[in-house]
Structure 1
Amino acid sequence: MPVPSFRPTATAAATMLLVAGQPLSPWALSAWARPDQGGAPTPSTAARTAADTIDPVAIQALVGMGNYLSTLKSFEFRTKATAEASFQDTDFLVHLGYEATYKVLRPTAFYVQMKSDRTIREYVYDGKTLTVNVPRQKFYAKVAAPPTIRQTVDKIYLDYGIDLPLADVFYWSENPVTDGITSAVRVGFARVDGKEADQFAYRGETLDWQIWIARGKAPLPLRIVITDRSDTVRPSYSADLFWNTTPALTARDFAFVPPADSSPIEVAALSGDN
């Protein structure tokens, strides 16, 4: 889910990776969220509060987090995540576990690996080319890419429907803005993996989401929870983020070498109707 609504729609289009039998990213942030405050308000009170509350402290927390991320020339983080999604177009909600690794060398390179029990995806961007590798199915695809991370994330979404998981981190570190937020509140103090944090909640056009931001001089996002209000079953995604802000990254970390037993495939661009 990017941060505010950086993208033209809140729902990602189908991607080329559907040929492997797995949807790519059910959790791209494209809007903002917020829970209700205090007690147990009636549905009408909850709806009114959610629509009307903008806490400047919650807005400034996002801006401060983005400003800090923008100072990092390189960073690396791991995630442990759970996606709650409907099962095969039914109203059954199933929980799917994911782990991920992100390596970023701003502004021209990233490596993202997503792993679950059933699939592995790798996204490698070297400043000129984006490669999507599916090692278990033994295929990969390459597309020409613009010279910056921000431009590349936008292009692959608009042209191919590839919605990188937690792409918001790229947006936050490039251009911290708060467009698209309709509600924002500070929930309160919290601890994430032993670290002191503040919990905030936001609402956008179709998504509610919460974020736990570390206290102190390094206001990093430590946990994210997202709920999709556009779906009647209200699927959700939650992830804890574990950071290294001083990684020793070089260009070799972003050089993709195809495995000997893998085959290249072509990427199908989205039609003009999407």
Structure 2
Amino acid sequence: MRKFLILGLLSFLVAISLYAQESSHFDNRAVVLLDRMSEVIGELNSCSFKLNASSDKVLPEVGLVKEFFKHQIQFVGPDKMHIQTNAPTNNHFYWYNGDIMMYYSLTYNHYGFIETPDNIIETIDMVNAEYGVDFPAADFFYPTFTDDLIDHSDTIHYLGLVNVDGVDCHHIIAVGPEQHLQLWLRNDTFTLPHRFVILEKSENYTLQYEGIFSEWMINPYLPESIFDFVVPESAKRLTIVPKSKAN
């Protein structure tokens, strides 16, 4: 038995060595941490967090302009989601209860509904593809996060421990042909994301998107009632049209 264990261990070490040689441009320390983050997020029953974000957009008259957003987000797996967003020109909300996605603009006092799949990930995919809605930090909640990052990157580096906003974090950088990502994961039991910066190359500019997470709550009790929307009497109904039928 001992002989077989030794031979098995040697085979395993050889396999790891060959994998490291073939994948030397993907730092194993970074990959392990990214997998750890995804596993923890994937096993959550519920969560709540805040995300302060900034995003570049291009205006024809002046070029790059930076906009700032504040998001409050709650999830209950697999089919409950609530997002409140304070944006420069439109403070708005999304509710998802497993059947429909409900939208309400506090700024303009109008609302609309979208029929959706019965889980959060498929709903995010569908609403993004058909209606052009980007959900804040949604990529972090995909179980394939690490594999997707590897597929879109030429190299992934682990730069060690750094202090960010008073929080000890693992600093990871992923560099690809169209995107450059810096990610700071909390150096604690849960290894949750603390901050990220994404640089995306466009035709004439490099656009930056930055997010800072705070007030993470792990598996909190979130009443089902917060995922349903009660329409204000004065609100106007919108017909939300898919991009394929907009023209």
**Which residue matches 1:198?**
170
Match of 2:54 in 1: 82
Query: Are positions 1:222 and 2:164 aligned together?
Result: no
Change (3 A) 1:208 1:90: farther
Contact 1:73/1:105, CA 8 A, preserved across alignment: yes
Q: Give identity over the alignment, percent.
A: 24
Q: Measure how far apart 1:80 and its partner are.
A: 1.5
2:41–2:141 CA contact under 8 A, matched in 1: no
Given that 1:135 and 1:262 are in contact with CA atoms closer than 8 Å, whether structure 2 keeps it comes out as no
Alpha carbons of 1:273 and 1:99: their partners in 2 closer, same or farther (altered >3 Å)?
closer
SS at match of 1:217: coil
> Counterpart in 2 of 1:165?
136
Matches within 5 A, 1:3-42: none
Deviation at 1:138, TM superposition (A): 1.3
Structure 2 partner of 1:60: 32
Displacement of 1:205: 4.7
The superposition leaves residues 192-233 of structure 1 with CA deviations (integer Å, 9 ceiling, x where unpaired) of 332211111113452211110011211000001111113422
Distance 2:158 2:124 in 1: 29
State which of 178, 200, 221 in structure 2 corresponds to 1:248: 221
RMSD: 2.1
The Cα of 1:160 is off from its aligned counterpart by 1.9
- State the structure with bigger RCO (CA 8 A, min sep 6), 1 or 2: 1
For 2:128 and 2:45, locate their aligned partners in 1 and report how far apart those are by CA, in whole Å: 24
Equivalent-residue separation in structure 1 for 2:203 and 2:213 (angstroms): 26
Range moving further from structure 2, 105-114 or 55-64: 55-64
State the number of aligned residues: 220
Q: How far is the alpha carbon of 1:273 from its aligned partner?
A: 11
Map Cα deviations across residues 118-163 of structure 1 (whole Å, 9 max, x no partner): 2212111001110121121111110111111011111112222222
- The farther-off stretch of 156-165 and 138-147 is 156-165
- Structure 2: where are the runs of 5+ without partners? 1-23
Which SS does the other structure have where 1:178 is aligned? helix
Q: Does 1:113 align with 2:84?
A: yes
TM-score normalised to structure 1 length: 0.74
Instruction: Give the secondary structure class of the aligned counterpart of 1:162.
Output: coil
Following superposition, which runs of at least 4 residues in structure 1 exceed 3 angstroms of deviation? 174-177
Q: How far apart are the structure 2 equivalents of 1:117 and 1:272?
A: 28
Amino acid at match of 1:193: D
- Counterparts of 2:107 and 2:116, CA distance in 1: 25
* DSSP 3-state at the match of 1:271: helix
Call closer, same or farther: CA 1:119–1:272 in 2, change over 3 Å.
closer
TM-score using structure 2 length: 0.82
Alpha carbons of 1:123 and 1:203: their partners in 2 closer, same or farther (altered >3 Å)? farther
State the structure with more CA Rg.
2
Mapped to 1, the partners of 2:246 and 2:104 lie a distance apart of 27
**Cα distance in 1 between the residues matched to 2:127 and 2:54:** 24
